[in-house]
């Protein structure tokens, strides 16, 4: 962990990989619901899996804007996916929030998701936005003082053991080890293959 506070713009104005790694353990709150981040992936304009790879467009405008904003887009016309914009302005980079461990508003999350299993409420990028009530209308809003709050790890909670591996759900740049997970969490979007586990520092 860098020691930076995610409520400070400096947290996001640095390498997207550092941002992604340090988001693990933080809390994301929207309205009456909140969860602890247990899985994040980083994306950068220099690799083809990133939306910014093709340059600045109307769709990617937020990615090239100030760091510390929410980039929320609809995947396959169905699920809203939440990203935190990182690095310097004019650099297209973002950290995709892939999974949360629910900690507040669990009954509301259950109603929104239509299921009971706490472990599965936020175990995927589209699942967590549905559980939190986050939609594409929040694209471009500030993560510093906007409706989506990103808070430091809760006091008294054991720091996550972050492991890294290749990203999932993509078909380009699949070899890059830019997926960051809390090795001790049962709420990640996909079980972690033991042979792929390694210290987070290896991804820097």
**Which pLDDT score, from 0 to 100, does residue 196 have?**
41
Residue 191: pLDDT over 90: no
Contacts of 15 (CB under 8 A, 6+ apart): 86, 87, 204
CA atoms within 13 A on the CB side of 121: 25
Contacts of 180 (CB under 8 A, 6+ apart): 20, 21, 23, 24, 39, 40, 41, 42, 162, 163, 164, 200, 203
Q: What is the arithmetic mean of pLDDT over 134-157?
A: 96
Q: Is the pTM of this model over 0.85?
A: yes
The proportion of the chain whose per-residue pLDDT surpasses 70, expressed as a percent, equals 93
Query: pLDDT (tens digit, 9 = 90+) per residue, 146-169?
Result: 999 999 998 888 889 999 999 998
Residue 13: pLDDT over 60: yes
pLDDT bracket for residue 203 (50, 70, 90): very low
* 8 A C-beta contact, residue 123 and residue 131: no
Residue 19: pLDDT over 80: yes
**Which pLDDT score, from 0 to 100, does residue 192 have?**
64
* 8 A C-beta contact, residue 197 and residue 163: yes
What are the residue boundaries of the structural domains of the chain, listed by start?
9-196
Please tell us whether the domain made up of 9-196 is placed in CATH 3.10.300.10: yes
Q: Which of 13-17, 26-30, 87-91, 197-201 has the lowest mean pLDDT?
A: 197-201
Query: pLDDT (tens digit, 9 = 90+) per residue, 51-93?
Result: 999 889 988 999 999 999 999 999 877 899 999 999 999 999 9
**Which pLDDT score, from 0 to 100, does residue 195 have?**
40
């Amino acid at each position: 962990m860098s020691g930076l506070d995610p409520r400070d713009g400096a947290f996001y104005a640095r390498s997207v990989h550092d941002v992604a790694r340090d988001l693990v353990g933080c809390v994301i709150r929207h309205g009456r619901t909140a969860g602890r981040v247990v899985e994040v992936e980083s994306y950068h304009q220099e690799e083809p899996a990133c939306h910014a790879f093709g340059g600045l467009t109307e769709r990617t405008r937020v990615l090239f804007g100030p760091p510390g904003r929410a980039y929320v887009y609809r995947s396959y016309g169905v699920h809203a996916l939440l990203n935190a914009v990182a690095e310097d302005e004019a650099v297209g980079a973002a950290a995709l929030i892939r999974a949360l461990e629910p900690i507040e508003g669990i009954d509301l999350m259950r109603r929104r998701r239509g299921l009971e299993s706490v472990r599965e409420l936020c175990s995927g990028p589209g699942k967590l936005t549905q559980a939190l009530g986050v939609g594409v209308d929040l694209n471009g809003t500030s993560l510093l003082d906007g409706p989506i709050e990103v808070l430091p790890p809760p006091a008294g909670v054991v720091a996550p053991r972050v492991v890294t591996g290749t990203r999932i759900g993509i078909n380009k740049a699949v070899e890059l080890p830019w997926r960051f997970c809390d090795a001790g969490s049962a709420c990640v979007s996909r079980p972690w293959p033991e042979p792929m586990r390694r210290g987070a520092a290896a991804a820097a």
